[in-house]
Structure 1
Amino acid sequence: MKNDLLNLLTDWQKLKSRKHNLLLIFYSLLTGTLSGAVVILYRLGLDKIGILREKLFENLSVWNFCTGIFIFILIGVILQFLVMKFPLISGSGIPQVKALLMQKIHFRWLPELILKFFGGLLSIGVGLSLGREGPSIHLGALVGEGINEVTGRSEMEKKYFITCGASAGLAAAFNAPLAGVIFALEELHKFFSPLLLICTLIASITADFLTRIFLGYHPVFNFEVTAPTEFNSLMEIFLILIFGIIMSFMGKLFSDNLIKFQKVYKKIDLNPYFKAAGLMLIAFFTAFLFKDITGGGHNLIEKITQYPTPVLILFLLLAGKFLYTLISYSSGFPGGIFLPMLVIGALLGKIYGIFIVNLFGVSDIYITHYIILGMAAYFTAVVRAPITGIILILEMTGNFSHLFALTFISAVSYIITEFINLEPVYDVLFNNMSFASNKDINKEKKIITVTIPVIADSKLSNKMVRDLKWPADTLLAGIRRDGNEFIPNGNTILKNGDLLVILTDKEKASVIAYYLYEMGTIVKFSKKNRTKKGVTLFIRVTPLLYIKNSLPYSAAFSNPSLL
């Protein structure tokens, strides 16, 4: 116990050293390089296997038809075997990364890296409506875990490597380095330090640099349009407001059904391999008859942007992509929902854009405009990460003329989903993970550190240490204030902007950190409690302005475990 405590204090002290920080930055560069290389290979592999799938259906003789069905079923059996033996490679991988940062699971980085890589190639390659972005984030995190294990760095530094790998993975998947950084901070942590910010930025830029060398210097979507100005400002805002409301409810429909489809798939009383074979038959005939909704959907977005499409066909594509994504993800096979979400948002945007053009007689440029807005709004509604959504679409399109409209519709979508109590989809998926059955969970008791910010007017602000009611099994080991660190005593007054370094038991860390984080970041509206259905309304203030009516207990705070 004493040695654990001494090691933690030593690790925390190291993070103050400029020499150590430079070494950490070097490892971030290394993580970004290796993560970028892995994701580049992953993207190239997906392109090749996608070409093979198309060739299979171009000249489909009876022999090719039967051979194709056999290959698809065989792939389904292989994928089912892999996810049963290595459950952490299933799905997008983002919930797993969140669980790792919360220290609820451990990665077996090398076998899981290899199997996630090839499992993703197979599941997306057969045409399941899954995206490459979630697996790319997971692959990057696995690379970060591997670098930490090989180099023998500390538990505290491991979180930096994992975060750097995750941000680099998204940067390489979308050619979007800033989105990679913001996603890692906004979605995975919801809190950050300057050192974490610079490490993730270096990793993302490095991965994006490699991607541009090997895959080309161009945005993911080539939308050569600027924001239209045919409406006056008030009318434009009104139309975007209506669209944002629609997208919010469509996002809720997707999130709710994503979990329902997973539960229904699990309840089907069949051998798992028979279920996988049945899913592969669906995948085969979908690729044969309705190939536009297969895969992530990048080509579909390009098509509906470049070519006129009847509204009836758009509704069919929307319904097909929506249902096929839910079915595909319910299987648990490796693959994400990032890009399929953007496709659904783009289809809704085109439908709304056509309606606006026909109703008001404006130019067709509004159709592309609302396709762009639809992707950002739908992403924000489902993932609940508005800043990531804005930056991601800006980088993917390479056009900043839509910045105001993107910002406004993302804000609308976020606020509306707040009122309808829509939880972030990755938090919901995280809460549905079966940690109790995971053999990789570390049962050994261990002391860890968490860091808690102190925000103005919170319960910790301007209070003496001895006057506060601290949870059991916690020790306030240090305070970081204005770039300096010191050890507090009972008479120390906590100030706005302080970062508290707290030692606690690993098994209780999530609950304790969640309780202390609320004390440090929740500001009441007034001295008199205002309630709604018995729940106290509050504002959670973080650097990313995270506003909530209430927080689920299971969303126990994870990000402040980083210094």
Structure 2
Amino acid sequence: MVLLGIALGFFGAFYNAVLVQSVIRFKQFSRRFQYSSTVIVFLLAGLVGLTFPLILGSGHHIIDVMGQHQTLQWLFMVFILKFLFSMVSFGSGAPGGIFFPLLVLGGLLGGCFASLSTQWFNVPPDLFFNFVILAMAGYFSAIVRAPITGIVLLTEMTGSLSHLLSLTIVSILAYVVADLLKSPPIYESLLEINLDGTNVKPREQDTDSYRKLIIETVVHYGSRIDGLKIKNLELPPGALVISIRRGGKDHTPNGESLIMAEDCLVVLTNIRDEFTLRRHLEHMTQSH
């Protein structure tokens, strides 16, 4: 578990660095050739759909086939292809998200680690999916920097507390390694790219201006923002809607995304603006 946690920390930091650069490069490219990024990704998705459709979509179907005695080479190849396609598709700004794909990528890394452990250290093959589950939580923690969220998420997904201790060890190790590598949390990086428009600002000291937190709020029927587009949502400076949870699924919004009653808005903000934002969201989401 120690080796797995350390490896996931490195892979998580690498994921963040590549994704940030992908977003920046696509933004620069789109300024010169409008709509070209979306067209390129659309054509690429069509080509992938014809040749290797397994890596399209969120990736839950990949987990379904991982237990069918797949080889280490197959697992690593799928990880590389899914990783590259995720970087291109999200970087282009096309509607989608990184939440479930990063869990699937973590699961693939866990599958690779399990295969290596089985071949080199005689670990029982029955533990294959244990490593997959641990790697999902660890990879999530290294990328998002929310180990408790990752632990609770995977505990809910498995419906069992038997992995709780091992999930905690792997998640904390991955978190610490990514932090030592000075890799900022991915949502902070994406927020600063959106605010700055050109590049990611260097991390400052831990002041209230740079510490971030996530606030969730439910949209009530008849509220002021029921039926409103994201671009028309008046939020305090520095606040960003990073996800809309609808029907149990997370959707990455853009300016044209429509807010509907029963949606759960996930908003990232500076810690110093927490009180102001909570009062503002309460005012906007309550029925009137």
Letter in 2 for 1:318: F
Aligned residue in 1 for 2:223: none
Tell me, which stretches of 5 or more residues in structure 1 are unaligned? 1-239, 437-505, 511-553
The Cα shift of 1:556 comes to 5.6
TM-score by length of 1: 0.36
For residues 409 and 354 of structure 1, the distance between their equivalents in structure 2, rounded to whole angstroms, comes to: 18
Aligned residue in 1 for 2:272: 557
For residues 386 and 299 of structure 1, the distance between their equivalents in structure 2, rounded to whole angstroms, comes to: 25
Q: 1:384 to 1:318 in 2, by over 3 A?
A: same
Match of 1:330 among 74, 88, 91: 91
1:81-121 deviations in Å (ceiling 9; x for gaps): xxxxxxxxxxxxxxxxxxxxxxxxxxxxxxxxxxxxxxxxx
Q: 1:309 to 1:556 in 2, by over 3 A?
A: same
Is the 8 Å Cα contact of residues 38 and 94 (structure 2) preserved in structure 1? Answer: no
The Cα shift of 1:427 comes to 1.0
Match of 1:263 among 24, 34, 37: 24
**Alignment partner of 1:244 is 2:5:** yes
For residues 279 and 252 of structure 1, the distance between their equivalents in structure 2, rounded to whole angstroms, comes to: 24
For residues 307 and 507 of structure 1, the distance between their equivalents in structure 2, rounded to whole angstroms, comes to: 50
Equivalent residues in 2 for 1:151-550, closer than 5 Å: 240-268=1-29, 270-304=32-66, 306-434=67-195
The Cα shift of 1:360 comes to 2.3
Larger Rg: 1
Is the 8 Å Cα contact of residues 241 and 412 (structure 1) preserved in structure 2? Answer: yes
The Cα shift of 1:264 comes to 1.4
Q: 1:366 to 1:265 in 2, by over 3 A?
A: same
For residues 347 and 424 of structure 1, the distance between their equivalents in structure 2, rounded to whole angstroms, comes to: 21
Letter in 1 for 2:49: A
Percent of residue pairs identical: 32
The Cα shift of 1:275 comes to 3.1
User: What is the root-mean-square deviation of aligned Cα atoms in Å?
Assistant: 2.5
Is the 8 Å Cα contact of residues 142 and 175 (structure 2) preserved in structure 1? Answer: yes
1:300-342 deviations in Å (ceiling 9; x for gaps): 01211x3111111111101001110000001112211001101
The Cα shift of 1:557 comes to 3.2
The Cα shift of 1:560 comes to 4.0
For residues 241 and 560 of structure 1, the distance between their equivalents in structure 2, rounded to whole angstroms, comes to: 39
Is the 8 Å Cα contact of residues 71 and 115 (structure 2) preserved in structure 1? Answer: no
SS at match of 2:35: helix
For residues 509 and 363 of structure 1, the distance between their equivalents in structure 2, rounded to whole angstroms, comes to: 49
TM-score by length of 2: 0.68
Aligned length: 212
Is the 8 Å Cα contact of residues 427 and 555 (structure 1) preserved in structure 2? Answer: no
Letter in 2 for 1:558: D
Is the 8 Å Cα contact of residues 321 and 344 (structure 1) preserved in structure 2? Answer: yes
1:4-60 deviations in Å (ceiling 9; x for gaps): xxxxxxxxxxxxxxxxxxxxxxxxxxxxxxxxxxxxxxxxxxxxxxxxxxxxxxxxx
Tell me, which stretches of 5 or more residues in structure 2 are unaligned? 198-234, 240-268, 280-288
